[in-house]
């Protein structure tokens, strides 16, 4: 199992470069397996490579209740978004116990490569859309703290500290 990196580790602020299927830094199928195992063991629904200390443009996403639908997204991109916005609560394995509402598009059209390097495309909405965008942010060196005001963040951290 891989180790989850906690904020403020600098790897979480690093923008990663495209995954090279012609010259992969590691076996992509094994990486997908390891990241999914780690994500499920920590009760997450998404996990980006920087969150386990790896500078790769890949994240995993899925639910432990249906692990067969969970997968890795290599070189993900958003092709299209809608103007409608959702304002739902998000958490992050790199920020244990902190939850804050983040505004994100309700729906996106995305493209990515699977672990075999095959391009895929799909629409995501609801919480899957939120999760996809949250994990994509990690690949750009953006953490969810960056998506809210300092006051809103301070309130979320204070609430998390009270729960400890």
**Could you tell me which residues are beta bridge partners of residue 17?**
56
118 annotated active-site: no
The one catalytic residue in 68, 121, 123, 135 is 135
How many CB atoms are closer than 10 A to CB 111?
14
Q: Is 109 exposed, middle or buried (0-12, 13-18, 19+ CB in 10 A)?
A: middle
- The C-alpha angle with vertex 21 and arms to 25 and 3, in degrees rounded to 5, equals 40
Phi and psi at residue 94, in whole multiples of 5°? Answer: -85, -5
Taking alpha carbons only, the member of 103, 58, 92, 94 closest to residue 77 is: 58
The catalytic residues are: 135
């Amino acid at each position: 199992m891989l180790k989850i990196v906690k904020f403020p580790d600098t790897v979480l602020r690093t923008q990663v470069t495209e995954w090279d299927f012609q010259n992969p830094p590691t076996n992509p199928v094994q990486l997908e397996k390891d990241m999914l195992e780690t994500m499920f063991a920590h009760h997450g629904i998404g996990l980006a490579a920087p969150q386990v200390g790896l500078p790769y443009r890949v994240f995993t996403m899925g639910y432990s209740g249906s692990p067969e639908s969970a997968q890795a997204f290599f070189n993900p991109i958003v092709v299209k978004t809608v103007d409608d916005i959702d304002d739902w609560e998000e958490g992050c394995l790199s920020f244990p116990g902190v939850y804050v509402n983040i505004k994100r598009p309700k729906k996106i059209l995305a493209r990515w490569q699977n672990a075999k390097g095959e391009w895929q495309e799909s629409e995501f909405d609801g919480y899957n859309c939120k999760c996809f965008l949250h994990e994509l942010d990690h690949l750009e060196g953006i953490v969810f703290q960056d998506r809210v005001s300092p006051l809103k963040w301070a309130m979320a951290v204070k609430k998390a500290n009270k729960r400890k």
